[in-house]
Amino acid sequence: MKRRHFVQNTSLAASGLIISPGLNIRKKIISLNDKINIGVIGCKGMGWSDVHSLLKMPDVDLVGMCDVDQSVIDQRLADYAKLRSNKPKTYGDHRELLKDESIDAVVIGTPDHWHCGIMVDAVMAGKHVYVEKPIANTIEECNIMLAAQKKTGKVVQVGQWQRSGPHYKKAIEIVQSGVLGNIRLVKVWAYQGWMKPMVKKPNSPVPEGVDYKRWLGPAPMRPFNPNRFHFNFRWFWDYAGGLMTDWGVHEIDIALYAMNALAPKSVMASGGKLAYPDDPAETPDTLQTVFDYGDFSMLWEHATGIDGGPYGRTEGIAFIGNNGTLIVNRGGYELIAEREFAGWGKEGKEKMESIPLVQRGDVDILGLHTENFIAAVKENDHSMLNTPIESGSVAAINAQMGNIAYKTGEKIYWDSVKGNFGKNKKANKLIKANYNNGWKVPKV
């Protein structure tokens, strides 16, 4: 399947980008010796982790912070004061931050449902972007973001930082060398024992200092509930896609990149709220999803409340070949050789040499990822990125296909020419982004 069919053929409008008023495309030449001024939009979780990583580089300065929660702004100003002496400007509206001509790049760490609109605004304002994963909450938005990057040429890195890990690169090299033999199955998984059920809470008044209307943005209007706010937003369909997109994009990214695959022929999923059926989360806490890529299959599994994942690992990727299986996760990689059949009860000769566990070691992979971003910004070279928006879109779209299969309860088939699920109206409807509260879907 051609990448252009996968990326461009989702049903999008045909004309012009809609951008926020007052945002003008600008071009700024950055000297390799210049400092890079950054802003952050969404400072609570990974947004701040990314900024903290960027600030380990002396040639990066934080000059702007934007968040809809004033308590988060106050906390981050205090955190920043321990790192640097300047005081960043603060904002409640990302569009105001983007008007600052001194800002070269922005970090987007908002909930998923805001990624697309803010990223499009940012690149159209002439900013380079580091956007958290998954890049968007729908397939349509992923394609809009791809088009916006292509239109502006800005550097857009996705926070799928495993791509920058040396041991992941070595594992991918082994997979692509062919020594594993024919790879028939790839397993990807996340078993999250730390996750306990949420306690049901009633709707409540919006906390003081929170611009809840802006937090909702294009999501449907509903009363404030603390279970749907900071961090836990990811377990509700209006804002995110659960573990399938939260953890899945990390593992699926490595799997598909190593296998040189883009989109499946078909997807089917089974699972539900089997661990904590009565807690308020909407996304499944237990899920198995099978993706058929023609010459191999990929199995995604996630489960909350337990850590007993495949091969004794809570998360990882396993490439299962005729000669051996390579397993890689954040702790390291190992290769388990297959053996020739020598008769029942006898141990045959290994088909290849096994590799005992090679541990990750003391490597700051997020630091390598943010350094890669700044290097690409200074060169104004999108092709230098370890996880460009194109890769982020492949991982996110595949993960979203898994969720669509789960939501429809059907085996769904991807039409690579039309860029949709053929005649399956239920599945095709879930490709689209539905914006509310006066917000408009950016169009390409």
pLDDT reading at 27 higher than 60 = no
Q: Answer whether residue 312 is part of any domain.
A: no
Question: How large is the C-alpha radius of gyration of the chain?
Answer: 22
Q: Answer whether residue 379 is part of any domain.
A: yes
pLDDT for the residue numbered 6:
44
Number of other CB atoms surrounding residue 441 within 10 Å? 19
Q: Answer whether residue 136 is part of any domain.
A: yes
Q: Answer whether residue 39 is part of any domain.
A: yes
Q: How far apart are CA 250 and CA 316, in angstroms?
A: 9
Q: Answer whether residue 169 is part of any domain.
A: no
pLDDT for the residue numbered 346:
87
The region that residue 271 occupies, defined by phi over 0 for left and psi between -120 and 50 for alpha, beta otherwise, is left
Quick one: which H or E segment has residue 298? strand 297-304
pLDDT band at 31 (very low <50, low <70, confident <90, very high): low
pLDDT reading at 421 higher than 90 = yes
**pLDDT tens per residue, range 71-117:** 999 999 999 999 999 999 999 999 999 999 999 999 999 999 999 99
What is the pTM (predicted TM-score) of this model? 0.92
pLDDT reading at 24 higher than 50 = no
pLDDT band at 29 (very low <50, low <70, confident <90, very high): low
Sequence-ordered list of residues with C-beta below 8 angstroms from that of 245, at least 6 positions apart, any chain: 112, 133, 134, 137, 396, 399, 400, 403
pLDDT for the residue numbered 345:
85
Domain count, the chain: 1
Q: How far apart are CA 423 and CA 413, in angstroms?
A: 9
**pLDDT tens per residue, range 289-311:** 999 999 999 999 999 999 999 99
Share of the chain above pLDDT 70, in %: 93
The CA-based dihedral angle spanning residues 341, 345, 346, 348, taken in that order and rounded to the nearest 10 degrees: 30
Per-residue pLDDT averaged across 309-319, rounded? 97
Q: Answer whether residue 113 is part of any domain.
A: yes
Share of the chain above pLDDT 90, in %: 90
Q: Answer whether residue 260 is part of any domain.
A: no
CATH assignment at residue 373: 3.40.50.720
Q: Answer whether residue 129 is part of any domain.
A: yes
What is the span of the domain harbouring residue 36?
Answer: 3-163+366-388
pLDDT for the residue numbered 347:
87
pLDDT for the residue numbered 43:
97
- CA angle in degrees (0–180, nearest 5) for 109-111-116: 80
**pLDDT tens per residue, range 176-193:** 999 999 999 999 999 999
